[in-house]
A and B are shown apart, each in its own frame.
Chain A
Amino acid sequence: MSEREKISRRRYIEIIGGTIAGLAVGAALGYIYGTTISPPKPVTKPTPRSIKMGYTMGMTGPLAVPNAWCDKYRILFTEIVNEKGGLYVAEYGERLPIELVKYDDRGSTDEMAKYYERLATVDRVHVFLTSYGTFVAPVVAPIAAKYKIPYVLGSAMPLPDLKSRWTVWTTPIVFASYELIDLLKKLGISDVYLAVIETKFGLEFRRNFVEGFRYKDEVYEGLKDTGIKIVAEKLYPIGTTDFTSIILDAKAKNPDAFIQFSYPDDSYACTKQMIELDYNPKFYYTSLGLACPTFYKRFTAEELEGITIYGQTYVPSAPWRDPYIGSCRDFFNKFKERWGEEPDINDTNNDFVAISIAAQAIEKAGTLNGEAINEVLHKETFSTIYGPIKFDEYGIITKDCPAHTATVLQWQKGELQVVSPPQSKTAEIIYPKPRWPR
């Protein structure tokens, strides 16, 4: 540095002193202006641009298909609500549109946890929704509780053991097998043949069915005490496509009822081969598959007539109403109009119920405050396509609601009807099941 460019000590002190003095004068003037000259402005909360509902889902990976279905319900719901300007939030005195904030978790719980943290802290969503599957809940429930964000689950079995006060579940706590046993007793069926898929789902069904498994405070005596005899029980691995052997065995043993605890694919294959082999039990139950349009569309109404399946309280003819979409029939028609195919009857439509409940809770709370929404969720009753729904302190549907209990559905004249339990019934059961048309 040259001599000329050097700053003298005196000059240096002058610069610093001047700056400090300038800042002090500025601050003093600012204070005087802020406190005495102009009155303070009222602090108002800025109106958010939207109501954010956040979730992750496996857009790729093994659960991509059911997740894509679940999302169709949420998208349909959002479109219907936003068309009318959104949800009314009293706190802001206006309607706000719903914004779905979603990430691809690829079916991985690690990814899920990471993204839910992001949804809470970066995106600042107001409600958590969820992807397909029960395994999601233990990962997300603690995050929901940590950030005090209400968590409304769709297609997931309730896990009351989580004891989360920030979580509500829209699926029945009482398993379908209880209703099935009850129905078999009422029909006077004396013996059954069981075909069970070797997955957790199939085996849970089987365990509840055979042992009258006691779940929570539900007491049921189960099949063992009913005197209904199991003539045979065949477990089969996932991916089984040929049921000839099982059906021939059942045909030879000739029980009153043939019951298959199944996934969709095997449910379809078994039904098809029962028709081929002309096996006509008086009662035929198959858990999943024949409520899914992909499969039931391949049969005629005559072939489907009298087949019973696992279900919830929704069928198109059910008397329930949703405040945003209307009756169950309206739901069926609007879904079909939007997506060009019929909605699933017994599985993924839980996600429609979940987002509708979240929306109703926000409108009832009149605020986007998580604690207020959560309080409403655990206190109020919600109108849904599953009937009225109210939750207990741990988010389980209460006993007085029809949706507390799973149902038995039956195909009748090309449409599914609830035939058990009595509080959800939409039609009387056809028994014995008509023979397959030839």
Chain B
Amino acid sequence: MLPSSFFTIFAQLLISAFVLGMLYAWLASGLTLMYGSSRVVNFAHGDITMLGAYLTYWLFTLYNVSPLISFLLEALLFGGVAILVFIAITRPLRKRSRTGDEFEMATIIATFAMSMWCMNFAGLLWTATPRGFRYLPQVLSFSGINLEMNRLLILILSSVSFILLYAFLSKTRIGKGIIYTIQNSDAAQLVGVDVEKVALLSHIIGFVTAATAGACHSLFWTISPTIDMFYCLIAWTVIIIGGVGSLRGCLVAGLIIGILETFAVYLLSPALRITINYGALLTILYFKPRGLFRR
């Protein structure tokens, strides 16, 4: 019989894995819709996360604004930023590109430039010194399992937001339009879906998920201008494993990465964390080249 401490450790690890996994799933959900519906390869996704985290930090430390309010404020603010980016960058690029591939290539370059700009802007404004704050540091304990309230809040915010997004996509007309566009853009246009509106909406969702994931990040971890690349790569890993355009894929892949990261670090070595992430990516792609949920 296994000792009770084994179950305590297992449960503790599982909770950590779920917190990470849900954060990754929420982070990647917007990117998968953005790429799936409008073919924008957004390399600035992690930068929006980083800026969202800094903004939460700033609002909390300077004006004592609760991160919960920041979460909602950032959804509005970055929704607006997404509209501007769509009008100023994505739409002109789409008009000037002769093929879809050319458009994808152009968005890679444009968003990469955006990423560089954001990272340097953050470095200028907040310097490279890691920033952070402590919000709800009280520890909840039950049966030997401990969890800081702020981590519980990350789990709740990311899970509830994810469920709401899922409901929006499956229950509303415009949400279904996004799904149809992801599945077949030409057919969606034939049945009356306004792909331009879908592209704009997917931009908004992409920016909002990234920024609010940043708000979640800031609740527990420190923020520096270089977290952008980590989150960008994680988001892409999740959507490639899950299958482009699939929200269910994001959820499953996010949890897989969260669980693998946490348990592998415990059982093997923390140094293998990145190896394990990309090992999982390669293994899944070998058996399911289009990802777990892409049909």
Chain A complexes with chain B: yes
Q: Pick the contact of B12 from A244, A264, A272 — CB < 8 Å?
A: A244
Q: For residue A269, which residues in chain B have a CB less than 8 angstroms away from its CB?
A: 221-222
Within B126-154, the residues touching A (CB, 8 Å) are: 127-134, 137, 139, 141, 146-148, 151
Determine how close the nearest CB of chain A comes to the CB of B264; give it in whole angstroms.
8
- CB pair A248 B9 closer than 8 Å: yes
A145 lies within 8 A of chain B by Cβ: no
Q: How far is the CB of B16 from chain A (nearest CB, A)?
A: 4
Are the C-beta atoms of B270 and A241 separated by less than 8 Å? no
Contact, CB under 8 Å: A248 / B13: yes
**Partner pick for A234 among B137, B221, B222, B270, CB 8 A cutoff:** B270
Give CA–CA (A245, B269) in the complex, Å: 9
Those of B1-44 within 8 Å (CB) of chain A:
5, 9, 12-13, 16, 20
Chain A 212-262 residues near chain B, CB threshold 8 A? 234-237, 239-242, 244-246, 248-249, 251-252
For A252, list chain B residues within 8 Å (CB).
5, 9
Is A55 located at the chain interface by the 8 A CB criterion?
Answer: no
Which one of B128, B132, B137, B271 contacts A64 once the chains associate, using CB atoms below 8 Å? B128
Cβ 8 A contact of A276, one of B128, B132, B139, B273: B139
Q: B273 touching A65 by the CB < 8 A rule? A: no
Residue on A nearest B20 in the bound complex, by CB? A242
> Complex formed: what's the CA distance from A407 to B103 in Å?
59
A251 to B128, CA, bound (A): 33
Which of A62, A239, A245, A265 interacts with B13 by CB under 8 Å?
A: A245
What's the least CB distance linking B15 to chain A, in Å?
Answer: 9
Task: Say whether B63 faces chain A, with CB atoms less than 8 Å apart.
Answer: no
Contacts of B266 in A (CB 8 A): 244-246, 248-249
Q: A241-B221, A245-B266, A265-B222 are in contact. Are A298 and B132 (CB under 8 A)?
A: yes
Cα of A56 to Cα of B270 in the assembled complex, Å: 37
Q: How far is the CA of A60 from the CA of B114 in the complex (A)?
A: 20
CA distance in complex: A237, B276 (Å): 13
Least distance between A87 CB and chain B CB atoms (Å): 32
Other-chain residue from A240, A278, A294 in contact with B129 (beta carbon distance below 8 A): A294
CB < 8 Å neighbour of B139 from A65, A245, A265, A275: A275
Within 8 A of B (CB), among A258-293: 264-265, 268-269, 272, 275-278
Q: Are A245 and B271 in contact (CB under 8 A)?
A: no
Q: Is B111 an interface residue (CB 8 A)?
A: no
List A contacts of B16 (CB < 8 A). Answer: 242, 244-245
Which residue of B is nearest A298, CB measured?
B134
**Contacting residues of chain B (143-178) with chain A, CB-CB under 8 angstroms:** 146-148, 151
Minimum CB–CB distance for B107 against chain A, Å: 27
Q: Are A245 and B230 in contact (CB under 8 A)?
A: no
| A242 engages B262 (CB within 8 Å) | yes
B265 contacts which chain A residues (CB < 8 A)?
236, 242, 245-246
- What per-residue 1/0 map shows which CB atoms of B66-90 lie under 8 Å from chain A? 0000000000000000000000000
Q: Assess whether A198 is interfacial by the CB under 8 Å rule.
A: yes
Q: How large is the interface on A (under 10, 10 to 19, 20 to 34, 35 or more residues)?
A: 20 to 34
Which of chain A's residues have a CB closer than 8 A to the CB of B226? 239
Interface check A438, CB cutoff 8 A: yes
**B274 part of interface (Cβ distance < 8 Å):** yes
Asked if B133 and A236 make an inter-chain contact with CB atoms under 8 angstroms apart, the answer reads no
Partner pick for B270 among A246, A294, A295, CB 8 A cutoff:
A246
Q: Which residues on the A side are within 8 Å of B230 (C-beta)?
A: 239
Q: How far is the CA of A64 from the CA of B139 in the complex (A)?
A: 37
Bound: A388/B224 CA distance, A: 38
Could you say which residues of chain A place their CB within 8 Å of the CB of B141? 278
- Residue numbers in A under 8 Å from B128 (CB-CB): 62, 64-65
Binary contact readout B239-271 vs A (1 if CB under 8 angstroms, 0 otherwise): 000000000000000000000011101100111
Q: Tell me the interface secondary structure of chain A in the complex.
A: helix
* Interface flag for A68 (CB, 8 Å): yes
- Verify A277–B271 contact, CB threshold 8 A: no
Q: What sequence of 0s and 1s flags, for each residue 402-427 of chain A, a beta carbon within 8 Å of any chain B beta carbon?
A: 00000000000000000000000000
Return B6 CB to nearest CB of chain A, in Å: 9
For residue B270, which residues in chain A have a CB less than 8 angstroms away from its CB? Answer: 234-237, 240, 245-246
The CA-CA distance from A242 to B132 in the complex, in Å, is: 15
Distance, CA A245 to CA B12, complexed state (A): 9
Looking at the assembled complex, report how far the CB atom of B221 sits from the nearest CB atom of chain A, in whole angstroms: 5
Query: A277 touching B222 by the CB < 8 A rule?
Result: no
Determine the chain B residues whose CB is within 8 A of the CB of A68 once the complex forms: 127
* Given A236-B270, A242-B20, A242-B262, A438 and B139 contact (CB-CB distance below 8 Å): yes
Closest Cβ of chain A to B49, distance in Å, is: 14
Among A198, A248, A252, A264, which residue has the most Cβ atoms of chain B within 10 A?
A: A248
Q: Which residue of A lies closest to B127 (CB)?
A: A65
Query: Closest chain A residue to B139 by CB distance?
Result: A276
Q: Kindly list chain B residues whose C-beta atoms are within 8 Å of the C-beta of A234.
A: 269-270
Interface string of A164-205 (1 = CB under 8 A from B): 000000000000000000000000000000000010000000
Q: How far is the CA of A284 from the CA of B151 in the complex (A)?
A: 24
Residue with the highest number of chain B CB atoms closer than 10 Å, among A234, A236, A241, A276:
A276
When chains A and B are docked, how far (Å) is the Cα of A241 from the Cα of B269? 14
Bound-state Cα–Cα, A237 to B222, Å: 16
* A342-364 interface (Cβ within 8 A of B): none
Q: Is the CB of B146 within 8 A of A277?
A: yes
Give complex CA distance A265, B12 in Å. 23
Find chain A residues with CB under 8 A from B133 CB.
298
CB neighbours of B274 from chain A (8 A)? 237
Q: Is the CB of B127 within 8 A of A245?
A: no
Whole-angstrom CA separation of A212 from B56 in the bound complex: 46
A270 to B13 Cα, complex, angstroms: 15
Residues of A within 8 A of B131 (CB): 294
Residues of A within 8 A of B151 (CB): 276
Known interface pairs A65-B127, A244-B12, A438-B139; 6 further A-B residue pairs with C-beta atoms within 8 A, sorted by A's residue number: A65-B129, A236-B265, A246-B266, A248-B9, A252-B9, A268-B130
List the 9 closest A-B pairs by CB distance, nearest first.
A236-B270, A245-B266, A245-B265, A244-B16, A65-B128, A276-B148, A241-B221, A265-B130, A235-B271
Please report A residues at the B interface, Cβ cutoff 8 Å: 62, 64-65, 68, 198, 234-237, 239-242, 244-246, 248-249, 251-252, 264-265, 268-269, 272, 275-278, 294-295, 298, 438
A selection of 6 A-B contacts at a CB cut-off of 8 Å is: A64-B128, A246-B266, A248-B9, A277-B12, A294-B131, A298-B133
